[in-house]
């Protein structure tokens, strides 16, 4: 069951990342300069790190 939750959360992160990329592409097409958004990047990295830690803990508890 924990594996299902893990992969569901991972899928959500991937979806958010794809949505973020699409938004940047749209903004670029509209003529906005799209810079490297560090806050969004570090937020994504933190989400992934939390998810990996949660998964590792669940594996230890099996």
Question: What are the residue ranges spanned by the domains of the chain?
Answer: 2-60
Q: Mean pLDDT, to the nearest integer, of 21-32? A: 77
pLDDT of residue 24 exceeding 60: yes
Q: How far is it, in rounded angstroms, from Cα 25 to Cα 13?
A: 18
Q: How far is it, in rounded angstroms, from Cα 50 to Cα 48?
A: 5
- What pTM was computed for the model? 0.49
Q: What is the pLDDT of residue 37?
A: 62
């Amino acid at each position: 069951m924990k594996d299902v939750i893990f992969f569901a959360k991972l899928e959500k992160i991937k979806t958010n990342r794809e949505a973020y990329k699409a938004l940047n592409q749209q903004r670029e097409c509209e003529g906005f300069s799209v810079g490297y958004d560090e806050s969004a990047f570090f937020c994504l990295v933190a989400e992934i790190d939390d998810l990996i830690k949660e998964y590792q803990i669940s594996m230890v508890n099996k």
